[in-house]
Amino acid sequence: MSHPDRRDVILGGTAAAATALGIAGARAHPHPPSPGAWAARADMPFPVQEIYPAAFERIEVGARAAKPASVRLLVNAGGMTPAPDSPFAATAATTIYDPARDDWRHGPALPQARHHLALVALHGRLYAAGGFASDAEGGWRMRAELWRLDDLDAGAWAPAAPLPAPQAEAVAVALNGFLHIVGGRSPATSRNLHWRDHIDVDRHQAYDPRRDEWFERRPIPTPRNSAAGAVLGGLLYVVGGRTVRGGVMPTAEVYDPLADRWDRIAPLPKAMNKKAPHGQAGLAAAAWNGKVYAMGGEWFDDAGGGVYADAWEYDPRADKWRAVAPMPRPRHGLGAVALDDGIYVCGGATSPGAKATSAFLDRFSV
């Protein structure tokens, strides 16, 4: 059986079927009761997908608190947002969510609009790495820039040492004082205009903010894009993803930065929806209360594909996954950030590809 690639679906060749199956298909098979609960929170300022938000902790003083207090915020920058002239329209907006107030505000805009931009908080600063720029020549112009933001409200993004090579749709995390970029995609040749110009890579780069320089770490054993990552107990967990020719994957691996070693762990379970393949891509992950959580994602097939409602909890001590309460609003291209009272899941699209982009924000707790 032949399968259309991701760009074919995004361009609309099977958009109608994708929309129907993406929403209805995810709900066709009811889930048994599972631990955890979802609660809708204030929508993002505008619909956006293909995002990699970050949790940012800062000390606030003044009217909000009698004494300095640590405040954890959700910050997003860039992403795909609907536009009348392009399905790949990118945004330069930075948006900030305060869980105590349940509201959003805008921060300093990026120097250039990007989608699939990786955002990481490290040492009291925000870093934005890679991603794709869209222009008249192509919607997937992969970039290598690294930008730094020192002040959420009054600052401006400043350039830092760029990635050694363009890299996007990767896992990006802060780990042991360094920014790690793992896997994803890079240009296959000098051509860098469209999605088909890029290939899956196993590249693993780490950035030292003190020296403003990058260095290589051990490559991830399974090259793939659109995976999700989370840091727990000083280890990096990378789950799911896909390859251009092979489709979605259930693969899960863990990285030990002290040993510079990767190990395979239990794969993601099979989806509750029997029409969905085994594996999730374009999903989100976060670590909370000693566990790793993964949720959402998309798949493509000849019928158009769909989105996953599945949410999973991984126990590293037992090396086992279990199902938790499924997403009430299934989507892919979403972001997940752990704050004090749960995991906040924002944005994404309710059908495969660049359609049905949402502004949803949901909180998961268990």
Along the 366 residues of the chain, how does pLDDT read in single tens digits?
A: 434 444 444 433 333 333 343 444 444 445 457 999 999 999 999 999 999 999 998 776 665 556 677 789 999 999 999 988 776 789 999 999 999 999 999 999 999 999 999 999 999 999 999 999 987 777 788 999 999 999 998 889 999 999 999 999 999 999 999 999 999 999 988 888 887 889 999 999 999 999 999 999 999 999 999 999 999 999 999 999 999 888 999 999 999 999 999 999 999 999 999 999 999 999 999 999 999 999 999 999 988 899 999 999 999 999 999 999 999 999 999 999 999 999 999 999 999 988 999 999 999 999
3-state secondary structure labels for all residues of 322-350: EEECCCCCCCECCEEEEECCEEEEECCEC
Alpha-carbon torsion 106, 228, 308, 353, what sign? Answer: positive
pTM above 0.85, yes or no: yes
Angle, CA 251 vertex, CA 248 and CA 252 arms, to 5°: 135
Write down the domain spans for the chain.
Answer: 6-365
Please report the beta strands in 276-328, taking only residues with DSSP state E, as ranges in sequence order.
284-288, 291-295, 298-299, 306-307, 311-315, 320-324
CATH 2.120.10.80, domain 6-365, yes or no? yes
